[in-house]
Amino acid sequence: MDLSYILNELGEERGNYFNAIAPPIIQSSNFTFPSVDAMRNDMHYEYEKHFYTRGNNPTVEILRKKLAALEGAEDALVVSSGSTAMSTAILANVQQGDHIVSVSKPYSWTYRLMTDWLPRFGVTTTFVDGTDPANFENAIQPNTRIIYLESPNSFTFELQDLAAVAAIAKARKEAGQEIVTMIDNSYSTPLYQQPIALGIDLSLHSASKYIGGHSDLIAGVICGTNAMMKKIFHAEYMTFGGIISPQNAWLMIRGLRTLELRLERSSQSALQVLAFLENHPKVKHVYFPFSKLHPQYELAKRQMKACGGLLTIALNTGQIDRVDAFADALQRFLLGVSWGGHESLVFPASVSFSRTTDTPNANPDNFNKVRLYIGLEDPAVLIADLAQALEMV
C-alpha cells in the first residue's frame, strides 16, 4: 500500500456519507440497533462494530486504519494523549512483581510512571544506557516482561539499535520468557522509522507532535498486532476510557493529509540550520542523529529514513544568563515545549536551573543546551534569527 493511498484514501468509505471528500465527525456517544438480536450480536464485537464511542467510533476508526497502515502494523488504537499511549501499553503488559528494562531517561512522564507509580504495584524498572544493546540483555531478569525504548531519545538524541534489541527479546521468547518490546516513536513518526518492520512489538506515539501537526490537539497512538490491540481494547482501553474525541480524530485525519509534506519541509530546513550551526563559533556542539558528528550516525542512517526538525545545540558559554539571553533574543522561535507543529520553537535546558542559586557551582554542560524545533517557516528567516540571537552568547 503506497503512502499516498494511506493518507488520501484508506478507510474512507465516501459512499456512506454523500461522497463527501472530508469524512464526517460522528459526534455521537452511542449507536442504536433495529432489533434486540442485532444489538446482541454487535455487543460481543465492540472492537470492530459501533456500539458506544468509548469503544469504536466511525471517525476514529478511519484514523486507526491509516495509522496502523503507516506503521505497517495490523491495527492501532488512538488514545487521549501520548502519555496515555505509553502508560496503557506498559500497564497492559505487566503484573504484580514484574520487571522492566528501559532506556535511561525516557520521556519525563513515562519515567515518573516507572519510578513513582509502578513500584506501588511491585513493578520495578532498570534503566540502561541504550547505546549498547548488550546493556539490555545484561539487565534482563527472570521476571522481565518489557523492554522499553525511545529512539532517538531527547534532549541529546542517543539511539538504540532496534533490530538488535528485538533479536535479544526474540531469543528470550524462544527460551520461554515472554518479553514485549515497545518504543516511543514520536520523534521519527512512522514515515521516518518503522520499528515493527525491525521486530519491535509495539510502536507508540505522542500524536500531539507531528501526526496532529498543527499544535492544536493532544493525542496518542498504540500500534501492534490484532491480538495485542484486542487485549488492550478489552482491558485498559475500555476501563480507563482514555479515548480521543471524534472531533480530535477528525483534526488528526486532516493533519495526516500533509504529514509527508510537513515532515519533508521540517527535515530539509533542519539540515540547513544544522549546516549553519555546526560551523558557528558560539556553538560548542550540535546534537542531531543525521549529523556526521553524531557518534551513532551509521546506525541512524541504517534504521531511520530521515530526521525530523528537532535538534539540540550546546552553546559555547559557562554563563547561564547568556543561555537565557540567546533564547530570549530569538524572534521567530517561540519559547515553548513540544514540537511538530507549523511554528519553530526553542526550549532551553536552563529553565530547570535557577540563575541565582545554581550558576556558581554548576557544570555548564547541565544548562548550556537548547533544543530547537525547526517548523515550516522559510529556513533563511530562521537562520538569520539564530545568527542575531547567537550574538548574545
Ligand X SMILES: *Cc1c(COP(=O)(O)O)cnc(C)c1O
Q: Which residues bind ligand X (CB under 6 A)?
A: 81-83, 107, 184, 186, 206, 208-209, 218, 220
CB closer to ligand X, 81 vs 102: 81
* Cis peptide preceding 152, ω within 30 of 0: yes
Q: Which of 187, 183, 190, 193 is nearest to 209 (CA)?
A: 187
d(CA 272, CA 279): 12
User: Which residue, judged by CB position, is nearest to ligand X in the bound state?
Assistant: 82
- Cβ–Cβ contacts within 10 Å for residue 129, how many? 12
CB closer to ligand X, 220 vs 379: 220
Through-space distance between the first and last CA atoms of the chain, rounded to whole angstroms? 49
Instruction: Give per-residue burial for 133-162: e unless 16+ CB within 10 Å, then b.
Output: bebbbebbeeebbbbbbbbbbbebbbbbbb
Q: Cβ 322 to ligand X, closest distance in Å?
A: 27
Q: Cβ 238 to ligand X, closest distance in Å?
A: 20
When computed from its CA atoms, the radius of gyration of the chain, rounded to whole angstroms, is 22
Structure-derived torsion over alpha carbons of residues 67, 241, 249, 377, reported in degrees to the nearest 10: -80
Do the beta carbons of residue 229 and residue 89 sit within 8 Å?
no
CB closer to ligand X, 63 vs 389: 63
Q: Cβ 115 to ligand X, closest distance in Å?
A: 16
Q: Cβ 381 to ligand X, closest distance in Å?
A: 25
Residue 21 DSSP SS3: coil
Q: Cβ 347 to ligand X, closest distance in Å?
A: 11
Q: Cβ 104 to ligand X, closest distance in Å?
A: 14
CB closer to ligand X, 107 vs 367: 107
CB closer to ligand X, 202 vs 390: 202
CB closer to ligand X, 152 vs 224: 152
CB closer to ligand X, 144 vs 208: 208
Do the beta carbons of residue 289 and residue 254 sit within 8 Å?
no
Burial class (CB in 10 A: 0-12, 13-18, 19+), 245: middle
Q: Cβ 364 to ligand X, closest distance in Å?
A: 25
